């Protein structure tokens, strides 16, 4: 049964998400994108999952390297910075050229405008039609500063952010923006 009606979308919009930058690399080239679907699956060992669109470059990087990092965005992150990772494709520009980042356990992790970073080694990839759910163990983590994490609700209602067309939460009612992260 495909329950993709308006009432389902309204109900799903009430779920709470945090905005993060998920990064990886293909060879020596780093790439990353903003996502709103990172979640913890177990505490010990610490495991998290992320859902990435198969059409995004970051998906190809995670598939090739078997690693991804998560950088938890701070609520006061400027919109141009969010836009760089949310609405620009790594196929067209080097997002890391003027962005602070570090190599954390073999994976690039954005350190600018973020509260914490972690690297995840993929243990399982689950095919979800248009997306892949990458599940793995946290192999390294650092808290960079205290602050309030940026939620998807704050991004949409206070910052008036748009939804990228490959986002897991994009619907025909979303304010679209295009990219191939």
The whole-number average pLDDT for the span 154-159 is: 89
More confident position, 127 or 164:
127
The whole-number average pLDDT for the span 63-91 is: 95
The whole-number average pLDDT for the span 169-178 is: 45
Residues 97-109: pLDDT tens digits? 999 999 999 999 9
Residue 76: per-residue pLDDT: 97
Confidence of residue 180 (pLDDT cuts 50, 70, 90): very low
More confident position, 59 or 176:
59
d(CA 131, CA 126): 9
pTM equals: 0.87
Number of neighbouring beta carbons within 10 Å of residue 2: 5
Residue 178: per-residue pLDDT: 39
Using alpha carbons, select from 4, 129, 114, 131 the residue that is nearest to residue 56: 131
Number of neighbouring beta carbons within 10 Å of residue 101: 21
Q: Is the pLDDT of residue 179 over 80?
A: no
Residue 174: per-residue pLDDT: 45
Share the mean pLDDT of the chain: 88
Share of the chain above pLDDT 70, in %: 86
Residue 51: per-residue pLDDT: 96
The full set of domain ranges for the chain reads 16-164
d(CA 168, CA 157): 18
The whole-number average pLDDT for the span 5-24 is: 83
Tokens representing 18 are 């945090």
The whole-number average pLDDT for the span 23-30 is: 94
d(CA 8, CA 90): 33
Residue 14: per-residue pLDDT: 76
> What CATH number was assigned to the domain covering residues 16-164?
2.30.110.10
The whole-number average pLDDT for the span 79-95 is: 92
């Amino acid at each position: 049964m495909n329950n993709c009606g308006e009432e389902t979308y309204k109900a799903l919009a009430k779920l709470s998400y945090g905005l993060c930058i998920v990064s990886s690399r293909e060879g020596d080239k780093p790439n990353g994108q903003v996502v709103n679907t990172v979640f913890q699956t177990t505490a010990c060992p610490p495991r998290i999952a992320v859902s990435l669109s198969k059409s995004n470059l970051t998906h190809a990087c995670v598939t090739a390297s078997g690693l991804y990092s998560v950088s938890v965005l701070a609520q006061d992150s400027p919109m141009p910075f969010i836009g760089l990772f949310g609405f620009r494709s790594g196929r067209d520009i080097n997002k890391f050229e003027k962005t602070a980042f570090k190599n954390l356990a073999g994976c690039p992790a954005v350190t600018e405008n973020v509260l914490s970073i972690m690297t995840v080694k993929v243990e399982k990839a689950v095919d979800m039609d248009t997306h892949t759910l990458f599940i793995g163990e946290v192999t390294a983590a650092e808290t960079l500063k205290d602050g309030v994490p940026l939620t998807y609700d704050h991004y949409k209602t206070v910052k008036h952010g748009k939804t990228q067309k490959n986002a897991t939460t994009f619907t025909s009612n979303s304010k679209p923006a295009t990219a191939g992260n």
